[in-house]
Amino acid sequence: MDDIVKVVGERIRYFRKKNGKSQEELAHQASLHNTYVGQLERGEKNASIESLYKIHRHLESPKKSSSATLRAD
């Protein structure tokens, strides 16, 4: 289970940086605490479906589908 938590965190960080956002900016836009976003990115916390959805909404590329953005390769 720890592996998936780390993979999700790495994907959040990757897409956040790709979108040129800071943790604080993403947290504010997603109505989450900035320390929570950091904990997710480091794989220290399990994200709820609701939190993942909030984050995804602010990192989604308009040219890609939702499933492509969340795919863990």
Domains of the chain: 2-70 (1.10.260.40)
On average, the pLDDT of the chain sits at 87
- Is-contact 8 47, C-beta < 8 A? yes
Distance CA 29, CA 68 (A): 21
- Is-contact 32 56, C-beta < 8 A? no
Please tell me the predicted confidence (pLDDT) of residue 61: 59
| Rg, the chain, Cα only | 11
Percent of the chain with pLDDT over 70: 79
Give per-residue pLDDT as tens, 17-42.
999 999 999 999 999 999 999 999 99
Q: How confident is the model at residue 71 (pLDDT cuts 50, 70, 90)?
A: low
At residue 64, does pLDDT exceed 70? no
Apex 15 CA angle, 67 and 70, nearest 5: 15
Specify the DSSP element, H or E, that contains 29.
helix 23-30
At residue 58, does pLDDT exceed 60? yes
